Structure 1
Amino acid sequence: MSTWAAILTVILTVAAMELTAYSVHRWIMHGPLGWGWHKSHHDEDHDHALEKNDLYGVIFAVISIVLFAIGAMGSDLAWWLAVGVTCYGLIYYFLHDGLVHGRWPFRYVPKRGYLRRVYQAHRMHHAVHGRENCVSFGFIWAPSVDSLKAELKRSGALLKDREGADRNT
Structure 2
Amino acid sequence: MNFIIVLASFLAMEAVAWFTHKYLMHGLLWSLHKDHHKKESSGFFEHNDFFFLIFAIPGIISLYIGMEAGYNYLFWIGLGITIYGLCYFLVHDIFIHQRFKLLRKIDNSYFKAIRRAHKMHHKHLGKEDGECFGMLWVPMKYFREQRSRA
Is 1:55 the counterpart of 2:50 in the alignment?
A: yes
| Residue 133 of structure 1, aligned match among 119, 129, 149 | 129
| Residue 117 of structure 2, aligned match among 118, 121, 146 | 121
| 2-structure distance, mates of 1:47, 1:60 | 24
| 1-structure distance, mates of 2:24, 2:62 | 23
Structure 1: 5+ residue stretches without partners: 150-169
- Cα deviation code 1:118-164 (max 9, x no counterpart): 011001100111111111000011113459x9xxxxxxxxxxxxxxx
Is 1:69 the counterpart of 2:64 in the alignment?
A: yes
Count of residues in correspondence between the two structures: 143
For 1:11-160, list aligned pairs within 5 A: 11-31=7-27, 33-47=28-42, 49-74=44-69, 75-106=71-102, 108-145=104-141
| 2-structure distance, mates of 1:145, 1:18 | 19
Shift of 1:64: 1.1
| Structure with more contact order per residue of length (Cα contacts < 8 Å, sep ≥ 6) | 2
Residue type of the alignment partner of 1:81: I
Question: Given the two structures, how large is their TM-score scaled by the length of structure 2?
Answer: 0.87
Runs of 4+ in 1 over 4 A off after TM superposition: none
- Cα deviation code 1:36-87 (max 9, x no counterpart): 1001111124446111111111011111111111112215101000100000
Residue type of the alignment partner of 1:13: S
Larger radius of gyration: 1
Say if 2:95 and 2:102, in contact at 8 Å, map to a contact too: no
Which has a greater percent of helix?
2
Say if 2:17 and 2:134, in contact at 8 Å, map to a contact too: yes
- Residue of structure 2 equivalent to 1:159: none
Identity %: 33
Structure 2: 5+ residue stretches without partners: 146-150
| 1-structure distance, mates of 2:46, 2:105 | 23
